[in-house]
A and B are shown apart, each in its own frame.
Chain A
Amino acid sequence: TQLLEQSPQFLSIQEGENLTVYCNSSSVFSSLQWYRQEPGEGPVLLVTVVTGGEVKKLKRLTFQFGDARKDSSLHITAAQPGDTGLYLCAGAESGGSYIPTFGRGTSLIVHP
């Protein structure tokens, strides 16, 4: 069973700071998604990365997929209180049914 390790587990920072969260696995993924989940709601997709080495930007968020497609990072520049939430990465191995496996997430709190 593939395992996705996310770090750090918790992050509490001040508004305006930069941060990076990591998602690592020993498995190779055909694709990897990042989601954000707020209390009382389901995870919401932020981005999908498919190609090794791919970098995608979404406003202040930068996502990178590792060259070997085993790991990914999410960098947030100048964090804002609205970025507060649980950040989840999810990957699926190629072949067979498409079943995303989720990491346990990074819980981010951004203080004003």
Chain B
Amino acid sequence: DSGVTQTPKHLITATGQRVTLRCSPRSGDLSVYWYQQSLDQGLQFLIQYYNGEERAKGNILERFSAQQFPDLHSELNLSSLELGDSALYFCASSPGDSNSPLHFGNGTRLTVT
């Protein structure tokens, strides 16, 4: 058990809809990362938060947004969903120090129909 909790585990929705994915980091970790994993692209970095502030952005679409709340949990919002957004979405946390390894949750599998 990594200590990182992601909900829901599975999500099936239709094109054009909006969903929210939730992540609770490991106790004491200040940094939260979101990654998208698909068969053809592998694990792609989306966005990072540190202690409530956005720290780095990767290949995140404008239809996607995220935030980290004062209790350090994070949410990833995906809107105007397209078939191509179907993927595994992982949250990972770390203490925030450089070179600290990431601890991953078990992901949310999103299927857009």
Contacts of B100 in A (CB 8 A): 98
Contacts of A30 in B (CB 8 A): 98-99
User: What does DSSP make chain A's interface, helix, strand, loop or mixed?
Assistant: loop
CA A35 to CA B37, docked complex, whole Å: 14
Decide if A104 touches B56 in the complex (CB within 8 Å).
no
CA A48 to CA B51, docked complex, whole Å: 24
Decide if A103 touches B2 in the complex (CB within 8 Å).
no
CA A17 to CA B55, docked complex, whole Å: 44
Interface residues on A, range: 20 to 34
Decide if B48 touches A41 in the complex (CB within 8 Å).
no
Decide if A42 touches B2 in the complex (CB within 8 Å).
yes
A100-B102 contact given A42-B90, A42-B92, A44-B2, CB 8 Å threshold? yes
CB distance from B52 to the nearest CB of A (A): 15
Asked if B103 lies at the interface with its beta carbon under 8 angstroms from chain A, I say yes
Decide if A102 touches B42 in the complex (CB within 8 Å).
yes
Nearest 10 interchain pairs by C-beta: A42-B104, A104-B42, A102-B43, A97-B56, A31-B99, A45-B101, A98-B98, A42-B106, A43-B104, A41-B106
24 interchain pairs, CB-CB under 8 A: A33-B101, A35-B104, A42-B4, A42-B90, A42-B92, A42-B104, A42-B105, A43-B90, A43-B104, A48-B99, A88-B43, A90-B43, A92-B99, A96-B56, A97-B48, A97-B55, A98-B99, A98-B100, A99-B33, A99-B56, A99-B58, A100-B45, A102-B43, A104-B41
